[in-house]
Chain A
Amino acid sequence: GDSVTQMEGPVTLSEEAFLTINCTYTATGYPSLFWYVQYPGEGLQLLLKATKADDKGSNKGFEATYRKETTSFHLEKGSVQVSDSAVYFCALSRGNTLLVFGKGTRLSVIA
């Protein structure tokens, strides 16, 4: 079945460091891919998305490129801030309604 695998956390970085959170997927067909973020005490929010191969999603300085050949959608940010501390979830679409989420990666950024 469809699934998403994310790198295990927690990831701890100093402010202004480069961030990569790896995400790979297994799916039949051509799913859309998403990154969601969950700040402490809140629900998940859509961070960025991509619908087809080589599409790049971007938002708030975060980027991810849909790589069909490696079935990956890695999240990157050039310079993280303390306010980026959160849990990040990679997800893929299943059919027209459902999202399949990864297990989440906790990011802690220290000043």
Chain B
Amino acid sequence: DVKVTQSSRYLVKRTGEKVFLECVQDMDHENMFWYRQDPGLGLRLIYFSYDVKMKEKGDIPEGYSVSREKKERFSLILESASTNQTSMYLCASMDRQGPWYGYTFGSGTRLTVV
């Protein structure tokens, strides 16, 4: 069964810490995405990547960075975590044929910054 795996289901970090959220897909997909999901705001795109070492800013990139050193892995980095980054983070992947074939989502990482 093909899937997207996010390394942690729940994470609690302190303000100012550097936080890494990891996402791995086993479908050989070119495209990978990071979203955050907040009540009343839905899904907002943080960053996406269409190839190894390539990245593009989404709608809310401030306070985040990403790394894609291997095709299967896409990491989201919070350089200095703040309480307003408490959220559910969702990773997704998609092959090069486009969104018609759908995004495959991970189960999410619920991050709490205290």
Contacts and interface: CB of A to CB of B under 8 A. Distances in A.
A51 to B, nearest CB: 7
Contacts of B31: 97
A43 B90 contact: yes
A13 interface: no
B103 A99 contact: yes
A42 interface: yes
A64 to B, nearest CB: 15
B50 A43 contact: no
Interface residues of B, number: 22
B103 A46 contact: yes
A93 to B, nearest CB: 5
Interface string B95-106: 000111011011
A97 B99 contact: yes
Interface in B34-86: 35, 40-43, 45, 48, 50
Given A98-B45, A101-B42, A93 B100 contact: yes
Interface of B: 4, 31, 35, 40-43, 45, 48, 50, 90, 92, 94, 98-100, 102-103, 105-108
